[in-house]
A and B are shown apart, each in its own frame.
Chain A
Amino acid sequence: MREKGILVWIALGVVLLAVLNLPEAVSLQVKAALRDGVAPLQGALASSVRNTKEIFRLIRGFGGLAVENEQLAAEVVRLRNEVRDLKALDRENGALRDQLKFYKKTSLQMIPCEVIARDITGWWQTIRLGKGSTDGILPNMAVISSDGLVGKTVAVSSRTADVLLISDPTCRVSAQIIRTGAFGIVSGSGPTERGQVTCRMEFINKTVSIQPGDEVITSGLGGVFPKGLLVGYADKVVMDESGLYQRADVIPRADLGLLEYVFAVVEQGDAQDLYLRKKQLVKEVKP
């Protein structure tokens, strides 16, 4: 009996040592396989929770449906007019760019994704998407919601992708203030005591005047986030203790606590990368 106990302890020690010292690639593969195995269940549970919420919301909102419908109809008319005007402006803009021989701005492709879970440990600000590499998602892709920037993909398996939110202190985004053109780095500062999610923009030129409410967008530097995605709005501005640069609190535009559907942004480079990878796979399969 005692020998059996000792054997169990030795086996445990060996297993733990092996797991802790797995090569990075193997570790990622194991993680991806486990994630893919649990993903269908997570997806099903997330959908059920969402449907139940919708039913309750519907029951609560019955009275206001007629009013809401009227408002939406008015909004549709307004938006149609706006789209018509914008189309005309787009054509005019394209023509002018052609005349000036500017490069044509490539439109971003979006992959719509459902949020199926949040970080299981609570240590990081992450969400899990129900789509992965088979749907065209790669690591380090920008993820946005209809309101603005949400984060970037960090761990991608064939069926899931983990997104590090901009509210996490380890997520860093090269950003720019639209009004002044000043650059800086936005990183998460976690939730405040009031429950509001905030970020912090650092390394802003100390001579630039920043006002609360200034729009902050991605600068396009750094290679992960395309230029021009709305991050949020500047709030409190202070001079850094070193006196070398300014720091501003940034309130994210996207509501990071209530994400249900988001979009992974495919840039031209990503599409090419995916194309090459698929081509490589085909080559490998061929005898």
Chain B
Amino acid sequence: MIVVVMFFCLVCGAVLQAVWPTWLWLGQASAPFLLGLVLYYALSHGDGFMLLAAVLAGLLQDALGLIPLGYSSFCFCLTALIVSRFREMVFSGDWPAHILFGAVAAAGVSLVLSLLLSHDGRLLIGPGWTILKAFGAGLLGAIVIPFEFRVLEALDRMLGNLHERGR
């Protein structure tokens, strides 16, 4: 059941991320719905689900954009691994921790991706724009990801997935 919910949420997250508006003053960063999903599974489920979510979310993000396949999966897996180290320190309803994780992870992923893409010569943007975009991604992550956590938690609770995990 957890996997079914994960697939459903991934598709919804990808669609939302694609239609969500971007703002110039945030460096046209997109709202990190897919990254939020990865963070949620990193903090609330086991390693297997976390990595599955990271790989699938990355594949979806790459497929729906011009990023070569695998780049986002790599970044998401790296983020999930780092975040899962703090799993025991974070309480499920801890808003400030989710805001902090959301902001740092979104900005970090944005920077790492820009480095990878610039290194490949696929991206022709200056450092100023990259920093603005990372700032925008961080801000959007701090706003979007905590709410996403609540929605996913409610969905998992309703379907008994959190109970399943407890067993």
Place the interface of chain A in its size category.
35 or more
Across the interface, do A12 and B66 meet the contact criterion of CB distance under 8 Å? Answer: no
Across the interface, do B67 and A121 meet the contact criterion of CB distance under 8 Å? Answer: yes
Partner of A45 from the list B15, B62, B77, B137 (CB cut-off 8 Å) is B15
Nearest CB of A to B86, in Å: 18
Chain B 31-53 against A: per-residue CB contact (8 Å), 1 yes, 0 no? 00000000000000001100100
Q: A12 and B18 in contact (CB under 8 A), knowing A121-B30, A162-B66, A190-B129?
A: no
A244 at the interface (CB under 8 A from B): no
| Interface locus among B68-76, B87-95, B153-161 | B68-76
A27 at the interface (CB under 8 A from B): yes
Q: A121 and B14 in contact (CB under 8 A), knowing A19-B69, A169-B125, A190-B129?
A: no
Query: A192: nearest residue on chain B (CB-CB)?
Result: B24
B105 at the interface (CB under 8 A from A): no
Across the interface, do A41 and B15 meet the contact criterion of CB distance under 8 Å? Answer: yes
B5 at the interface (CB under 8 A from A): no
A170 at the interface (CB under 8 A from B): yes
| Cα–Cα distance between A45 and B13 once the two chains are bound (Å) | 12
| Cα–Cα distance between A8 and B51 once the two chains are bound (Å) | 9
Please count how many residues in chain B sit with their CB below 8 Å of the partner chain's CB atoms: 43
B2 at the interface (CB under 8 A from A): no
Q: Which of A16-58 contact B (CB under 8 A)?
A: 16, 19-20, 22, 27, 30-31, 34-35, 37-38, 41-42, 45-46, 49
| Cα–Cα distance between A122 and B139 once the two chains are bound (Å) | 15
Q: A169 and B124 in contact (CB under 8 A), knowing A27-B69, A117-B19?
A: yes
Q: Which 7 A-B pairs have the closest CB atoms?
A: A34-B63, A20-B70, A117-B18, A19-B70, A122-B30, A169-B124, A120-B64
Taking beta carbons and an 8 Å cutoff, which residues of B are in contact with A?
A: 11, 14-15, 17-19, 22, 24, 27-30, 47-48, 51, 55, 59-74, 77, 113-114, 117, 122-125, 129, 133, 137
